[in-house]
């Protein structure tokens, strides 16, 4: 983390993996910020958060600050999907970044000069520029996935055409308490699965196969439901017959 060199503190940051070039730029920015806030030997060291003395890690303040500084802002109902019981911890960051439109899609890498626009196509349709909203929402692969989910649960509704509004509307389509939880979980699971599938196509040379993707997505929703909510008996019913689950719930 750091060490004293002749009465002056020097930050030594270690990373768990080799950083990409575009990440180095973010590290340099962070380095400038932390260099302005070095420990001083002659002073008592304590923890402050926005000039406020704290005795424990101020999770709520950090959460509010992140929401404040990272546009676009996310409605509370969506944030609860990410940080409560609906997403496994290993997938939370990806889903949160997706809602923040901060996934490192090809448009971002083009902007940073890492790749050319010719290599920035969507891995699903191979005809449009890969952006956050395209890969998760407007691409025909993604849109068909959302439609397939509605069909699976026997729901029909005209949907908003902006991702944020769409997500809020999605949560309101089911009101039954137990089903509502699984429905919220499905929202995160679709997002995470699209991103995972995209990575497999891009980095593991997998071919896009919509039918196989939908099958594995439904299985994943079943597994997440069992893992996070403990509905061990109902997962197969969700997988094979969402309608009957809705009737029984």
Task: Give the residues lining the site for Zn ion (CB under 5 A).
Answer: 122, 124-125, 128, 139
Give the count of beta carbons closer than 10 Å to the beta carbon of residue 220.
Answer: 19
- The single residue listed with the structure tokens 């939880």 is 181
Closer residue to Zn ion (CB): 140 or 248: 140
Q: How far is the CB of 139 from Zn ion (least distance, A)?
A: 3
Closer residue to Zn ion (CB): 122 or 187: 122
Q: How far is the CB of 188 from Zn ion (least distance, A)?
A: 21
Closer residue to Zn ion (CB): 124 or 163: 124
With a CB cutoff of 8 Å and minimum separation 6, the contacts of 212 are: none
Half-sphere exposure of 25 (CA within 13 A, CB side): 7
Closer residue to Zn ion (CB): 139 or 174: 139
3-state secondary structure (DSSP) of residue 140: helix
Kindly compute the dihedral angle of the four CA atoms of residues 80, 83, 89, 91, in this order, to the nearest 10 degrees. Answer: 60
Q: With contact defined as beta carbons under 8 Å apart, do 119 and 107 qualify?
A: no
Q: How far is the CB of 150 from Zn ion (least distance, A)?
A: 20
Q: Give the span between the Cα atoms of 5 and 3, in whole angstroms.
A: 6
The interaxial angle of helices 177-204 and 140-152, nearest 10 deg, is 150
Closer residue to Zn ion (CB): 141 or 224: 141
């Amino acid at each position: 983390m750091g060490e004293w060199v002749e009465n002056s503190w020097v930050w030594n940051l270690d990373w768990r993996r080799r950083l990409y070039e575009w990440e180095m730029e973010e590290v340099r920015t962070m380095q400038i910020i932390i260099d302005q806030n070095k420990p001083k030997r002659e002073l008592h060291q304590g923890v402050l958060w926005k000039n406020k003395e704290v005795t424990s890690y101020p999770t709520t303040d950090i959460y509010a600050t992140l929401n404040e500084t990272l546009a676009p802002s996310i409605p509370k109902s969506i944030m609860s999907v990410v940080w409560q019981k609906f997403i496994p911890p290993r997938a939370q960051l990806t889903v949160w970044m997706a809602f923040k439109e901060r996934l490192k899609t090809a448009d971002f890498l083009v902007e940073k000069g890492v790749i050319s626009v010719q290599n920035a196509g969507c891995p699903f349709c191979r005809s449009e520029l890969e952006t956050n909203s395209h890969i998760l929402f407007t691409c025909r692969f993604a849109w068909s996935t959302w439609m397939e989910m509605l069909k699976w649960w026997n729901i029909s509704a005209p949907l908003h055409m902006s991702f944020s509004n769409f997500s809020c509307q999605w949560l309101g389509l089911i009101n039954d308490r137990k089903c509502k939880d699984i429905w919220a979980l499905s929202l995160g699971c679709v997002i995470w699965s699209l991103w995972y599938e995209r990575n497999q196509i891009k980095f593991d040379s997998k071919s896009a196969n919509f039918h196989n993707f939908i099958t594995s997505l439904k299985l994943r929703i079943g597994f997440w439901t069992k893992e996070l909510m403990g509905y061990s008996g109902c997962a197969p019913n969700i997988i094979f017959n969402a309608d009957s689950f809705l009737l029984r719930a």
